[in-house]
Homo-oligomer: A and B are copies of this chain.
């Protein structure tokens, strides 16, 4: 119940502004924190809150001075430090090793793993040490789940999917369903292209609720170490996502597209198939990416919000942009002609 601030600094580093016999029992934003709570300042726009906060300790950068009487921990990246304090104070719920009586297990479960009620683990699957398979999860044939990886409830892993260590997969995620691949006959019918690749997911990957990652058509779909995927993302067959790339909710990535390392993709963005996005690219929310990106930087294609009346007025012009451009050209020619005549 609580952690003395000096123990926090002993474990996480940082410089304490003064000695202080303070025990931290919780965390909160600056404007909500009270006695025994630790807060942080990362965004300068909240600096004014420092003077008024009732937090017992604040995490700030090296340069920030705090009001007298307020204890500070100075560190180069206050938000990162704060996240680590929250983790110290809120260790994940421990799961007792063992397999629930109602689970149906045909695969191999490490003695240190936890398999929750009504989970199904098919033949050939391997569940690693200290891994957690949540209630209602379905782990297909020959799936590999690495050590300490946790599946929340009702996750589905299709046959052959390989997941590394220290991953967290949220409820309702589906990994390894068939990619969307069909050949078309002359009369417009679709013949299924069997999806015989699989999905390989690295270590320390987080996958959000109801996110779907399809298996490859011939080779594998690949998610590298450290990738973070939010909820309701759709990843098509044979997509490859590089290390430490983070993707926000509702993004769709079509088949065979490759995304580099350390990219950030905003919510509801889309990336069409067979593209290549280099490392360190940032895609803004709602942006549809329709061509490959070769240079790091921020890319955007979305529309400014307007009142509906303004939208009607301005956007009816969008159909006539080409005409407008031609009108400007014509006017310029008339002017040129007029001036040369005068």
**Interface of A with B (CB < 8 Å)?**
27-29, 32, 76-77, 79-80, 82-84, 86-87, 90, 92-93, 100, 102, 104, 116-118, 120, 122, 134-136, 138, 140-141, 152-154, 156, 158-159, 168, 170-172, 174, 177-178, 180-186, 188-194, 196, 206, 208-210, 212, 214, 218-219, 226, 228, 230-232, 234, 236, 244, 246, 248-250, 252, 254, 261-262, 266-268, 270, 272, 284-291, 293, 297-308, 310-322, 324-325, 327-328, 331-332, 334-335, 338-339
Tell me which residues across on chain B come within 8 A of A302, comparing CB atoms: 288, 290, 301, 303
Give the docked Cα–Cα distance between A177 and B92 (Å): 13
Q: Check B305 against A291 for contact (C-beta < 8 Å).
A: yes
Tell me which residues across on chain B come within 8 A of A93, comparing CB atoms: 141, 159
Tell me which residues across on chain B come within 8 A of A297, comparing CB atoms: 307-308
Task: Give the residue of B170, B172, B196 whose beta carbon is less than 8 angstroms from that of A90.
Answer: B196
Contact sample, A vs B, 5 pairs, CB 8 Å cutoff: A172-B212, A190-B246, A210-B210, A250-B252, A328-B328
Q: Check A288 against B288 for contact (C-beta < 8 Å).
A: no
Tell me which residues across on chain B come within 8 A of A232, comparing CB atoms: 210, 212, 232, 234, 252
Q: A308-B300, A315-B304 are in contact. Are A177 and B288 (CB under 8 A)?
A: no
State the oligomeric state as a number of copies. Answer: 3
Give the docked Cα–Cα distance between A304 and B299 (Å): 10
Q: A135-B138, A185-B77, A298-B307 are in contact. Are A158 and B152 (CB under 8 A)?
A: yes
Closest to A341 in B: B342
Q: Check B332 against A321 for contact (C-beta < 8 Å).
A: no
Give the docked Cα–Cα distance between A79 and B126 (Å): 36
Tell me which residues across on chain B come within 8 A of A186, comparing CB atoms: 76-77
Task: Give the residue of B86, B120, B300, B310 whose beta carbon is less than 8 angstroms from that of A135.
Answer: B120
Q: A138-B135, A192-B87, A232-B212 are in contact. Are A288 and B303 (CB under 8 A)?
A: yes
Q: Check B180 against A230 for contact (C-beta < 8 Å).
A: yes
Q: A134-B138, A324-B328 are in contact. Are A174 and B334 (CB under 8 A)?
A: no
Give the docked Cα–Cα distance between A284 and B297 (Å): 26
Q: A27-B218, A304-B301, A304-B318 are in contact. Are A86 and B196 (CB under 8 A)?
A: yes
Give the docked Cα–Cα distance between A234 and B210 (Å): 10
- Minimum CB–CB distance from A311 to chain B (whole Å) comes to 4
Tell me which residues across on chain B come within 8 A of A79, comparing CB atoms: 183
Tell me which residues across on chain B come within 8 A of A190, comparing CB atoms: 226, 228, 244, 246
